[in-house]
Amino acid sequence: MSDKVDQNSVSIVETKWDVVLSSNKGFFNIPWRDVLRYKDLLYMFVKRDVIVIYKQTILGPIWFFVQPILTTIVYIVVFGGIAGISTDGIPKALFYSSGIIIWNYFSESLTLTSKTFLENANIFGKVYFPRIIVPIAKVTSGLLKFLVQFLFFLVVLAVYVLKGTEIHVSYHIVFVPFLLICIALLGMGLGIIFTSLTTKYRDLNFLIQFGVSLMMYATPVIYPLSSVPQKYKGLILMNPVTHLVEGFRFAFTGSGVWSWGGLGYTGLVTVIVLSLGILIFSKVENTFMDTV
């Protein structure tokens, strides 16, 4: 009898599990290998965000173009026409569209990932999968939307080039992927910080929407950095998104400021924000079901 018990004990000890679920995890113990294993689920989340949302609409994916077009027209009329804000000598449509598409990607990455826990509580409570997949899917689907809107921007750029407008496309265009990576990671980092905090403090949901709107005015989207009074310029430069918007605009139009120091600062802030976000996210995901 004792031999049978010992054999059973040995077999239990030697059992190797494919997935071990435990609440005793380190702060940075995100199951990155599981993210690769669940790549099909990641694809489904991205497909849901891009296709399903517009499945029952008349215009469908055309809404991806409609948003930047209408926003650009409004900015041209209000800020370029009525307010008379400078565009650094480049056509208004090109100036505003260059800022809008890059800002939209950042703001959507932030706001959509900030709802991760609240919007997916039912799924998280029923089945296991790496929770970090959801914010990654939001950022990935946002990138696809950005690429569609980027085509609109390229069309606007091509029209002015063919008309003979003096536009200087810089060799810095090769660094645009770096700008997009920073935008995506910075937006996701801030988003997962807020989604972790909103599991306890729901008031932050209202602050996020309000804060993102205010942050746009602290970013040179509707005005060039060169038009900012010197006493306020330091505050604008502290905004890491400033250097990304200005860099993107400079790469394609030659207008704006390309600052290696500013981009280095933005990269450092991105790493810090993302690391802090992962730290908080990995801690909260163990207990958030008790507070949601």
> Would you kindly state where each structural domain of the chain is located, as residue ranges?
26-290
Query: Quick one: pLDDT at residue 12?
Result: 46
Query: Quick one: pLDDT at residue 26?
Result: 47
Q: What separation in angstroms does the CA of 252 have from each of 36, 117, 150, 167, 171?
A: 35, 38, 11, 8, 9
Q: Whole-angstrom Cα distance, residue 138 to residue 149?
A: 16
Give 39-57 pLDDT, tens digit per residue.
Answer: 888 888 888 877 776 666 6
Least confident of 5-19, 41-55, 80-94, 165-179: 5-19
- Name the band, by pLDDT with cuts 50, 70 and 90, for residue 250: very high
Q: Whole-angstrom Cα distance, residue 249 to residue 64?
A: 20
Decide if 240 contacts 253 (C-beta within 8 A): no
Q: Whole-angstrom Cα distance, residue 277 to residue 189?
A: 5
- Name the band, by pLDDT with cuts 50, 70 and 90, for residue 27: very low
Q: Whole-angstrom Cα distance, residue 270 to residue 280?
A: 15
Q: How many residues does the chain have?
A: 292
Q: Which residues make Cβ contacts (< 8 Å) with residue 117, sequence separation at least 6?
A: 124, 195, 196, 198, 199, 284, 285, 288, 292
Mean pLDDT to the nearest integer, 214-239: 91
Give 147-197 pLDDT, tens digit per residue.
Answer: 988 998 999 899 998 988 888 888 999 999 999 999 999 999 999 999 888
